[in-house]
Amino acid sequence: MPGPLVNLLWLIGILAEAAVVVCALKKGAFRRYLLLNLYMAGLLLVELGRYKIVSEYGLKSTQFQYFYFYSDAILTIFLYFALCTLYSHVFSEMKAERYVKLGALLLLAGTALFTYAVVQQSTAKLVTHFVVDLSQNLYFVGLVLTYVLWGAILKLRETRTRLIQLVLSLGLYFSFLAANYAVRNLYPSLSTVFIPLVQLCGIFLPLAWAYAFWRLPEEARLAPARLAVIPR
């Protein structure tokens, strides 16, 4: 069984994920950011499933490992498409939705092919390795895409505060997870140290989104010049 700290972080995470969906529903933002909210609802169900499996089989059981990595891969693909809807929001005036969808599908297929090409060199447990590596690669692709979207937001002088905060918190989440996977590849012995850190990061995203839905109305605007890291 996981320790009390891990259990506490797990519980806070589950509550925060539920809070996002509730806040979005209460503030009428559920349909506007449909995929983001469906991702959060999916994450909530997966977390409950993980908790049930851990309490039945234990944290180090094969059942949990398989459930964790397979559900993580599905959720990452879901989050990838949720990120693409943020692109659609930013480029809505350009009517570029079709191109965004096409580009997203091509990039996803490209990432999957690249992952397969790398993984097929190792013969054992091909599908499992593919699933784990696809998640890792998609985190990095998601990070780069969020960074490009952030650049577009600054360039197009996007002023919607809620949208900006959703994108930035997603960028923070992707960059932390990509860094975490990179550290785990470089220093495999440190992987256990990062479990509570990953959980903390997992809590940040739903809390940040709940804040954005609850505290910021859709009409809230801010000056784009205030957001650049380099003072203007």
Binding site for other proteins (CB under 8 A): 15-16, 19, 23, 140, 143, 146-147, 150, 161, 164-165, 168-169, 171-172, 174-176, 178-179, 181-183, 185-186, 203-204, 207-208, 210-211, 214-216, 220, 222-223, 226-229, 231
CB of 56 to other proteins, least distance (A): 29
Among candidates 146, 185, 148, which has minimal Cα distance to 167? 146
Q: Which is nearer to other proteins, 1 or 117 (CB)?
A: 117
CB of 98 to other proteins, least distance (A): 28
CA-to-CA distance for 29 and 73, rounded, in angstroms? 26
CB of 202 to other proteins, least distance (A): 12
Q: Which is nearer to other proteins, 131 or 205 (CB)?
A: 205
Q: Which is nearer to other proteins, 84 or 178 (CB)?
A: 178
CA-to-CA distance for 214 and 162, rounded, in angstroms? 10
CB of 7 to other proteins, least distance (A): 18
CB of 154 to other proteins, least distance (A): 9
Burial-class residue 135 by CB neighbours within 10 Å (0-12, 13-18, 19+): buried
CB of 205 to other proteins, least distance (A): 9
Q: Which is nearer to other proteins, 59 or 222 (CB)?
A: 222
Q: Which is nearer to other proteins, 88 or 175 (CB)?
A: 175
Q: Which is nearer to other proteins, 42 or 171 (CB)?
A: 171
CA-to-CA distance for 122 and 232, rounded, in angstroms? 51
